[in-house]
Amino acid sequence: CFEDVEKQQLEHMLNEWKQEQQRALNTLLGAPEDFNIGLEHQTSVLGDSVGGVLKSLLDSQEMAYAKEIITYNRFIIQGTVRPSLVQKLSEVADSLNNKKVSELWEMVRYMTQVPAQASGDPLLFRRSKALQTALISQAKKYLQDRYKSYMNNVVTGNLKEAQRGGVPGTYPLVRSFVNIRVPQGLAGLEDGMVDDQPVWALIYYCLRCGDIKAALHCVHRASPQVKEFSTILQDIEKSPDQKLNPQAEAFLQRQYRQQIKHMTDPYKRAVYSVISACDIEYDHPEVAKAADDYLWFKLWQIREEPLLPLGEPHSGEKLTYTHLQSLILEEYGESHYNAQEKPLVYYQVLFLTGQFEAALEFLFRVDKFRVHAVHMAMAMHQQNLLALPTAFDASLLTEDSKYRGAARRLNYARLIILYVRRFETTDIKEALNYYYFLREIKGPEDENLFAMCVADLAQETQQFAVLFGHLRQDGCRVPGLIDTFQGAQVDPLFVIEKAASVSEERGLTEDAINLYDLSGVSVLD
């Protein structure tokens, strides 16, 4: 009957396929065709299904991030407009209900709101005046907004002492904060009071939370000798980078050196030092109590890079961006900031000075923050804000001597691989989606790193059918997980062929034959 004929034809086709497979295997082994290695007694790993249910090694935090990574990849594969990865992963972080983690991502949100750079070397772009100005501005904004929030908390917790009333705005907040924090009758304060509070303390804290208009409000209500300062603040308010013109700045610096530096009011000294970028060696400990305050001071005091030959030391007369970076990373370092006990403080001063690579590498070494470091790196790499090494096998963090200052490169591929390796054998789908982020990175022989990682994953797990699918009796391939990445720089058959090549190089001949056959490549050609 027809069914018997069809069955005989199918059996004949399968026998021919087995004979062809035997010849291919003999070719790879270098054996004569009549040498029978008993292939018919072997079980093809491609036909195996997943043996039992493996327990995921991802914890709840890791799984929450992984789900968002998978969703994000779908946008790329489908060719639709993708959302901001910074925003989506920040939302995941906020859902974890961990204040410190939310603060980490808040920094990322601020520091990625800078001019976009589609391609090119991020380190070179970071040396441009436009990007440095934007990075400094965003770091200051973060520190100022954070301090304003802190002031609100202090005032809310001391309502009776604050005597704020119900008036909204920065100035009433600052007045209430000063009423709590600056002791009544503190010796040495100068130039009188505004609303029963020392005028320079009010001006300083208005600037500290980033509100120049509020500082002007104080000045306009102050004594005549302080009102002269209004022109200075108005010029700063109009300036796009909040800097005075060189002549006005030079005048203030002379005034500071000759008079202000020797005065007893710490707030007046601090205001002049911040605005005129002078006395950069002095840290104003009476006013700047925390690392946040120190960094805010230094960011205000940064001035343009002098045109010096590479390798010539910085004069120290002006604080430049690269000098501040070197100061924090190389001169002070982890020990100065007690980084092992206070990792987020050290991370913050690195990250907010544009040293993203050093900051993320450090955070990756802190176990409880490793998962967050990886995903922050992924989000920033999507915006081309991470500097990567040219050598695939470079250390996790390397110095680039071509650039002045503390220029570092982060081996992003190594970071991803180190993170995924812990769970790749149990959470294959998730591992593939992380490796997909490496599709544009080349391996040691200019190979597609995504394909290399998938090939290694296949050998490690032996889940060939799950990853690559399997052949039906009619010779057609049933899709595997790799086919979900079809498009957008990924050809599943190329990846399968790469896995076959890796198997062949490692002497896993039967795996190689089966994989070549699955990819449609004949080893006899």
Tokens coding 13: 């086709």
Alpha carbon 404 to its chain's center: 22
CA dist., res. 297 & res. 147, Å (int) = 13
* pTM summary value: 0.85
**Residue for token pair 């050290």:** 346
Tokens coding 472: 């039906």
In this structure, are residues 243 and 249 in contact, taking their beta carbons and an 8 Å threshold? yes
Cα atoms in the 13 Å half-sphere on the side-chain side of 319:
23
What are the angstrom distances between the C-alpha of 253 and each of 203, 250, 286, 309, 360? 18, 5, 21, 27, 37
pLDDT at position 422 is 95
In this structure, are residues 109 and 86 in contact, taking their beta carbons and an 8 Å threshold? yes
In this structure, are residues 481 and 433 in contact, taking their beta carbons and an 8 Å threshold? no
pLDDT at position 524 is 52
Tokens coding 156: 């809310």
CA dist., res. 15 & res. 9, Å (int) = 10
In this structure, are residues 514 and 504 in contact, taking their beta carbons and an 8 Å threshold? no
pLDDT at position 166 is 63
pLDDT at position 306 is 57
- Tens-digit pLDDT profile for the chain (525 aa)? 434 434 444 444 445 444 544 444 444 444 333 333 232 333 323 333 344 457 899 999 999 999 999 999 999 999 888 999 999 999 999 999 999 999 999 999 999 999 988 788 999 999 999 999 999 999 999 999 999 999 999 999 888 776 766 667 999 999 999 999 998 888 899 999 999 999 999 999 999 999 999 999 999 999 888 988 999 999 999 998 899 999 999 999 999 999 999 999 999 999 999 999 999 999 999 999 999 999 999 999 999 865 444 444 444 578 999 999 999 999 999 999 999 999 999 999 999 999 999 999 999 999 999 999 999 999 999 999 999 998 888 999 999 988 877 899 999 999 999 999 999 999 999 999 999 999 999 887 778 899 999 999 999 999 999 999 988 888 888 999 999 999 767 888 998 988 898 888 888 888 888 888 888 876 555
Nearest to 305 by CA among 326, 284, 331: 326
Q: Work out the angle at residue 100's Cα, subtended by the Cα atoms of residues 97 and 102, and round it to the nearest 5 degrees.
A: 60
Radius of gyration of the chain (CA): 31
CA dist., res. 470 & res. 483, Å (int) = 12
pLDDT at position 455 is 93
